[in-house]
């Protein structure tokens, strides 16, 4: 069968959150541009299609989604998975109705403009791209349901991914939640909210992480929060000192006051959620799980008894792994990556806006550096500093777009606060650079 021929200006590989945000910027700014979106899944929405049914945003809906359309109630709303998927369905319908966008679902990209249907191996599509091939899959977002557990599991042991919690029809004597990140937090809160007694829950936390107080990153105050964090970074002597000072000022929190967290992954909770999490007394800190047998959970630093009355809940997927940066702009190609700490959709929109500038790829790459997703506590200073530097440089090219972009967390601040943040960021620029180097060496 001969390959089908297509021509487009932008071929976007991946119709998840980042791919859709990129497409939205081009769609709105270039009414003459043609776009093809291709995805292995059957609909737009990316990892949200695979996520557990009770998942919600951990950040305000005010700065999630696409620049042109409000998500849910906007503001502080923590939109549900159902609402997010409906949002992307509506956005895709608007794209398609224009006649300028084509969506190729259940299609695998093989490189060099070659796509193959996941349903019919003989159906091949060759795309000639006049502007860019945009790889919106670089971040490789993963949820537990997308892959088998990373540890051995005896068939006699009861193990489910977090996705299956909502399908349980009979109670278990105990629940062992495996994973200390956002997914593990959601699993524990889900069980508690549905009336499971705290003493029936065991929580295996390989590494404690600092938690962002969600109240600190609400629309209208994000700029001030980032400047407080930057000022602390400039004044602190060590990374531990940075986090202790941030904890004292109320920006961040930890699960246990006696345990010094080693991770920073931008996980957010509010004070009530933290209080609920602290009701779990059986928190196990013996490293990662290596195997689950019929009567034992083997970990890196010890073992725990288990039995057939315990349901083990896998929450160990690394949703946003820290990956080595790639050049974002290369001839005919864009590798979509984060350019603002823990704000992937804003990053995608920002990269799209840079792509529309009349500049060389070298100059485009100079505007924004890649900000890998943070994992260790020591990643915070560098990620925060590069994020703010990226904003300052981008502001030199399209200040009005940055101010009005709904995905820009700082853009929701009042005009006065917005200008104050810009002035403070410029004033702290040199000190922040030196602080990053000093803290890395400490």
Q: Is residue 37 part of a domain?
A: yes
Are 133 and 167 found together in one domain?
A: no
What is the average pLDDT across 352-367? 97
Domain co-membership, 26 together with 86: yes
Same domain, 32 and 78: yes
Round to whole Å and give the CA distance between 236 and 238.
6
Taking residues 73-96, report their average pLDDT: 96
Q: Is residue 261 part of a domain?
A: yes
Place of tokens 């509506």: 90
User: Does 380 reside within a domain?
Assistant: no
What per-residue confidence (pLDDT) applies to 317? Answer: 75
* Of 271, 290, 314, the domain-final residue: 314
**Same domain (yes/no): 98, 195:** no
* pLDDT above 90: residue 131: yes
Q: What is the arithmetic mean of pLDDT over 67-82?
A: 94
Which pairs with CB-CB distance under 8 Å and at least 24 residues apart come from 72-79? 75/219, 76/218, 76/219
Give a yes or no: residue 52 inside a domain. Answer: yes
Q: Residues 6 or more apart from 298 whose CB is under 8 A from it?
A: 289, 290, 291, 292
Residue 387 structure tokens: 């994020």
Same domain flag for 100 and 123: yes
pLDDT greater than 70 at residue 384: yes
Judge whether 217 lies within some domain.
no
**pLDDT over 80 (residue 90):** yes
Nearest to 84 by CA among 106, 63, 105, 64: 64
Beta bridge partners of 335: 135
Give the H or E element holding residue 165.
none
| pLDDT tens per residue, range 327-353 | 999 999 999 999 999 999 999 999 999
Q: From CA 181, how far away is CA 289, in angstroms rounded?
A: 14
Question: In this structure, is residue 395 part of a structural domain?
Answer: no
pLDDT of residue 140: 64
Flag whether pLDDT at 142 surpasses 70.
no
Note the residue count of the chain: 442
Q: What per-residue confidence (pLDDT) applies to 313? A: 97
Q: Is residue 355 part of a domain?
A: yes
| In the chain, % of residues over pLDDT 90 | 92
For 384-417, b/e burial (b = at least 16 CB within 10 A) is bbbbbbbbeebbeebeebbbebbbbbbbbbeeeb
CA triplet 213, 215, 216: central angle to 5 degrees? Answer: 75
Angle between helices 222-235 and 380-395 (to 10 degrees): 130
| Mean pLDDT estimate for the chain | 95
129 and 53 inside one domain: yes
Closest by CA to 35, choosing from 67, 14, 9, 66, is 9
323, 431, 419, 407: which is closest to 371 by C-alpha? 323
Mark whether 331 and 192 lie in a shared domain: no
CATH of the domain at 273: 3.50.50.60
Domain boundary among the residues 314, 336, 363 is at 314
> Is residue 74 very low, low, confident or very high in pLDDT (cuts 50, 70, 90)?
confident
- Give Cα 25 to chain centroid, integer Å: 19
pLDDT of residue 442: 80
**What is the average per-residue pLDDT within 401-419?**
95
Among 105-114, 140-149, 241-250, 258-267, where is mean pLDDT lowest? Answer: 140-149
Same domain, 167 and 301: yes
343 domain residue, yes or no: yes
Count: domains in the chain: 2
Q: Are residues 33 and 52 in the same domain?
A: yes
pTM, rounded to two decimals: 0.95
Based on the domain organization, do 154 and 301 belong to the same domain? yes
| Residue 336, C-beta contacts closer than 8 angstroms, at least 6 positions apart | 14, 18, 19, 22, 134, 135, 136, 138, 139, 328, 347, 348, 351
Residues 328 and 305 in one domain: no
Q: Which of 68, 73, 39 is nearest to 56 (CA)?
A: 73
Question: Is residue 296 over pLDDT 90?
Answer: yes
What DSSP character marks residue 125?
E
* Domain containing residue 260: 144-208+254-314
Mean pLDDT of 410-432: 94
* Among 162, 142, 257, 163, residue whose Cα is nearest residue 211: 257
């Amino acid at each position: 069968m001969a390959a089908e021929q297509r021509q487009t200006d932008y071929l976007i590989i991946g119709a998840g959150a980042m791919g859709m945000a990129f497409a939205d910027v081009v769609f709105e700014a270039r009414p003459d541009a043609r776009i093809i979106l291709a995805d292995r899944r059957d609909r737009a929405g990316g990892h949200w299609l695979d996520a557990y049914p009770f998942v919600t945003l951990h950040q305000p809906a005010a700065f999630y989604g696409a620049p042109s359309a409000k998500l849910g109630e906007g503001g502080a709303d923590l939109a549900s998975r159902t609402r997010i998927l409906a949002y992307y369905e509506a956005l895709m319908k608007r794209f398609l109705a224009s006649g300028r966008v084509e969506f190729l679902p259940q299609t695998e990209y093989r490189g060099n403009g070659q796509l193959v249907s996941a349903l019919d191996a003989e159906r091949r599509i060759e795309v000639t791209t006049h502007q860019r091939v945009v790889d919106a899959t670089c971040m490789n977002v993963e949820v537990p349901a997308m892959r088998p557990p990373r540890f051995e599991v005896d068939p006699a042991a009861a193990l489910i991914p977090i996705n299956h919690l909502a399908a349980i029809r009979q109670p278990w004597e105990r629940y062992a939640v495996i994973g200390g990140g956002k997914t593990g937090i959601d699993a524990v809160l889900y069980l508690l909210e549905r009336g499971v007694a705290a003493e029936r829950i065991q929580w295996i936390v390989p590494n404690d992480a600092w938690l962002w107080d969600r109240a600190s990153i609400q629309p209208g105050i994000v700029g001030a929060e980032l400047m407080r964090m930057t000022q602390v970074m400039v004044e602190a002597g060590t990374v531990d000192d940075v986090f202790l000072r941030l904890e004292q000022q109320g920006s961040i929190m930890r699960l246990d006051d006696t345990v010094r967290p080693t991770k920073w992954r931008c996980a957010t909770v509010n004070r009530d959620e933290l209080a609920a999490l602290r009701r779990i007394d059986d928190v196990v800190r013996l490293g990662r799980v290596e195997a689950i047998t019929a009567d034992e959970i083997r970990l890196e630093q010890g073992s725990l008894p288990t039995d057939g009355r315990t349901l083990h809940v896998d929450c160990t997927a690394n949703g946003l792994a820290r990956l080595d940066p790639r050049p974002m702009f290369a001839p005919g190609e864009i590798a979509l990556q984060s350019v603002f700490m823990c704000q992937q959709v804003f990053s995608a929109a920002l990269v799209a806006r840079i792509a529309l500038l009349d500049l060389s790829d070298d100059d485009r790459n100079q505007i924004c550096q890649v900000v890998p997703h943070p994992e260790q506590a020591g990643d915070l200073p560098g990620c925060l500093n590069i994020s703010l530097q990226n904003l300052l440089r981008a502001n030199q090219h399209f200040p009005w777009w940055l101010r009005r972009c709904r995905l820009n967390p700082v853009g929701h601040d009042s005009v006065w606060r917005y200008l104050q943040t810009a002035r403070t960021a410029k004033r702290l620029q040199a000190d922040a650079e030196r602080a990053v180097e000093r803290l890395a060496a400490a």
